[in-house]
């Protein structure tokens, strides 16, 4: 039984971990594919378009990431099940990232850092967490877990999803209730997948609808945190919203083009925090264990978990 590791930045690392923990799997790394007929499974990030369809006995594609938009860039992706990575380690990392960045802007840390650089001792008013309304776009595995962690810190939670949901302690909105969700959101956390429906959603129109009613006056303005995908956002609109005060601050982990070009003004904006798509990375040991568990489930003829719905795109 052969697994092909393909289309990522850390293929060798994933492959060596998979070899170390698997019993009977042969692990190959693209482009050293060898005899194509041997390959039954692919552990993939962004494979070269058209490659996977040349593997005649492929039975399963495991996505290295929780999102799968990178896989669907291949217009000829074979019609075998695609499972995405869902894992407690990854979820924990994303929860940390979201909590860290909500606190960072709520507690005005970019301003305090700036004051420190000028050796300036100046009080700035800050609201209590229970006066800050955090709205999470995407109430799935990651958004759901982030909402529970933020609720424990006292924040007021609301969430928006495609279909109707119930989540403890969260005011839930869905579908065409987006405007109502935005109107009373002070800190917008984006944890959506990138699909044909969500591409470019975080744009000028949407940002203008944030925090229209009831914002505590000690919070200087709405905040955007995007840890979903760069294709969800229009960066020129985010910069314009920051410049005219429609946004107070932003934390961006993902970008329209990655790495973020040196020329982007986002790098130098005093209220923007930039991280290099590392909000929640896939741990090699966790992805190896997950891949083996999925392959074993497939071999036993069991129903696979976390299968991607190709019509929804996530
Ligand atoms: N930056 C990083 O390091 C990093 C790491 C991991 C993941 N991610 C990103 O995080 C995303 C979310 O991961 P997850 O595991 O939480 O995914 P998930 O469990 O599939 O949840 C996705 C959520 O988005 C909602 N959604 C999808 N399309 C929508 C639409 N058109 N309108 C409204 N809501 C919509 C879904 O609604 P329903 O509940 O109604 O289906 C669901 O609540 C991934 O797709 C990936 O892009 C980023």
How high is the pLDDT of residue 198? Answer: 98
Rounded to 10°, the helix 88-106/141-152 angle is 50
- The alpha carbon of residue 282 and the mean position of all alpha carbons in its chain are separated, in whole angstroms, by 12
Which residues, judged by CB distance below 6 Å to any ligand atom, belong to the binding site of ligand 1? Answer: 65-67, 94, 138-143, 160-163, 165, 191-195, 197-198, 227-229, 253-254, 277, 279-280, 314
With CA atoms as reference, report the closest residue to 313 among 153, 175, 198, 222.
198
Rounded to 10°, the helix 109-117/88-106 angle is 60
How high is the pLDDT of residue 8? Answer: 84
Distance 138 CA to ligand 1 centre (A): 5
C-alpha radius of gyration, the chain, whole number: 21
How high is the pLDDT of residue 113? Answer: 98
Distance 159 CA to ligand 1 centre (A): 12
Could you give the CA distance from residue 188 to residue 136 in angstroms, rounded to a whole number? Answer: 6
pLDDT beneath 50: ranges in the chain: none
Residue nearest to atom 32 of ligand 1 (CA): 162
Torsion angle, alpha carbons of 59, 63, 69, 70, to 10: -100
Residue nearest to atom 29 of ligand 1 (CA): 162
How high is the pLDDT of residue 13? Answer: 94
DSSP sequence for 114-153: HHHHTT---------GGG-EEEEE--SHHHHHHHHHHHHT
Rounded to two decimals, what is the model's pTM?
0.97
How high is the pLDDT of residue 1? Answer: 87
Q: For 36-72, how does the pLDDT look when each residue is reduced to its tens digit (9 = 90+)?
A: 999 999 999 999 999 999 999 999 999 999 999 999 9
How high is the pLDDT of residue 23? Answer: 82
What residues act catalytically?
Answer: 229, 277
Distance 158 CA to ligand 1 centre (A): 15
How high is the pLDDT of residue 4? Answer: 97
Distance 68 CA to ligand 1 centre (A): 10
Rounded alpha-carbon distances, angstroms, from residue 140 to 91, 166, 265, 288: 11, 11, 32, 23
Which residue is listed with tokens 């795109």? 313
Mutate to test the pocket of ligand 1, among 162, 274, 310 (most ligand atoms within 8 A of CB): 162
Percentage of residues in the chain having pLDDT higher than 70? 100
């Amino acid at each position: 039984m052969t697994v092909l590791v393909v289309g990522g930045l850390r293929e060798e690392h994933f492959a060596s971990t998979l070899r170390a923990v698997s019993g009977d799997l042969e692990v190959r790394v693209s482009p050293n594919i060898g005899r194509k007929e041997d390959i039954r499974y692919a552990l993939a990030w962004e494979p070269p378009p058209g490659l996977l369809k040349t593997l005649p006995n492929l039975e399963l594609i495991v996505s290295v990431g929780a999102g799968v938009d990178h896989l669907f860039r291949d217009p000829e992706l074979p019609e075998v099940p695609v499972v995405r990575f869902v894992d407690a380690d990854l979820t924990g990392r994303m929860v940390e990232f979201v909590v860290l960045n909500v606190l960072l802007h709520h507690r005005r840390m970019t301003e305090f850092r700036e004051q420190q650089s000028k050796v300036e001792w100046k009080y700035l008013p800050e609201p209590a967490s229970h006066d800050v309304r955090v709205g999470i776009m995407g109430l799935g595995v990651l958004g759901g877990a982030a909402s529970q962690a933020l609720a424990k810190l006292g924040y007021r939670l609301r969430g928006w999803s495609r279909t109707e949901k119930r989540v403890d302690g969260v005011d839930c909105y869905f579908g065409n209730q987006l405007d109502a969700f935005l109107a009373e959101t002070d800190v917008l956390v984006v944890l959506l997948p990138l699909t044909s429906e969500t591409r470019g959603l975080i744009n000028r129109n949407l940002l203008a609808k944030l925090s229209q009613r009831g914002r505590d006056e000690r919070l200087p303005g709405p905040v955007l945190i995007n840890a979903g995908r760069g294709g969800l956002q229009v960066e020129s609109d985010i910069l314009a919203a920051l410049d005219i005060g429609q946004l107070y601050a932003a934390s961006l982990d993902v970008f329209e083009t990655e790495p973020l070009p040196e020329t982007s003004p986002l790098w130098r904006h005093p209220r923007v925090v930039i991280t290099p798509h590392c909000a929640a990375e896939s741990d090699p040991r966790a992805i190896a264990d997950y891949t083996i568990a999925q392959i074993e489930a497939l071999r036993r003829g069991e129903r696979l978990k976390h299968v991607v719905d190709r019509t929804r795109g996530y």
